[in-house]
Amino acid sequence: MKDQFDREITYLRISVTDLCNLRCKYCMPDGVCQKRHEDILSFEEIAEIASAAAQLGVRKVRITGGEPLVRRGCVDLCRMIAQIPGIEEIDLTTNGTLLDRYAKDLKAAGVTRVNISIDSLDPAKYRAITGGGELSAALAGIRAAQEAGLIPLKLNTVLIGGFNDDEIPAFVKLTRTEPVELRFIELMPMGGHFGPEAYLPGDTVLERVPALEPVPHNGGVARLYRLPDGKGRVGLISPLSRHFCASCNRLRLTSEGHLKPCLHSDREIYVRGKHGEELLETLRQAIYAKPRMHGVLDAEHPSGAGRTMNTIGG
Partner touching 187 among ligand SF4, ligand SAM, none, CB below 5 to 8 Å by kind? ligand SAM
Which positions from 1 through 60 interact with ligand SAM, judged by CB under 6 A? Answer: 20, 26-27
Per the CB < 8 A criterion, the answer to whether 240 and 298 are in contact is yes
> Which residue lies nearer to ligand SF4 by CB, 2 or 101?
101
Closest CB to ligand SAM among 64 and 175? 64
**What is the rounded distance in angstroms from the CA atom of residue 246 to the CA atom of residue 3?**
11
Paired strand residues for 102: none
Q: Is 310 in the site for ligand SF4 (CB under 6 A)?
A: yes
**Residue 141 binding partner per list ligand SF4, ligand SAM, none, with a CB distance cut-off of 5 to 8 Å that depends on partner kind:** none
Min dist CB 88 to ligand SAM, Å, is 22
Q: How many CB atoms lie within 10 A of CB 72?
A: 9
Q: Which of 10, 17, 51, 94 binds ligand SAM (CB under 6 A)?
A: 94
Name the closest residue to ligand SAM (Cβ).
Answer: 314
* Shortest distance, position 6 Cβ to ligand SF4, whole Å: 32
- DSSP-derived secondary structure for 138-191: HHHHHHHHHHHT--S-EEEEEE-TTTTGGGHHHHHHHHHHS--EEEEEEPP-SS
Sheet holding 154-159, edge to edge: 213-214, 223-226, 233-237, 181-186, 154-159, 113-117, 89-94, 60-64, 11-15, 250-253, 258-260, 269-270
For the CB of residue 46, give the shortest distance to ligand SAM in the complex, in Å: 16
Dist CA 165 CA 250 (whole Å): 29
By the rule CB under 6 A, 180 interacts with ligand SAM: no
**How many residues touch ligand SAM (CB under 6 A)?**
20
Nearer to ligand SF4 by Cβ, of 51 and 115: the residue is 115
Binds ligand SF4 (CB under 6 A): choice among 16, 24, 90, 114: 24
How far is CA 4 from each of CA 60, 203, 243, rounded to the nearest angstrom?
A: 21, 32, 19
Instruction: Report the interface residues with ligand SAM, using CB under 6 A.
Output: 20, 26-27, 64-65, 67, 93-95, 117, 156, 158, 185, 187-188, 190, 192, 309-310, 314
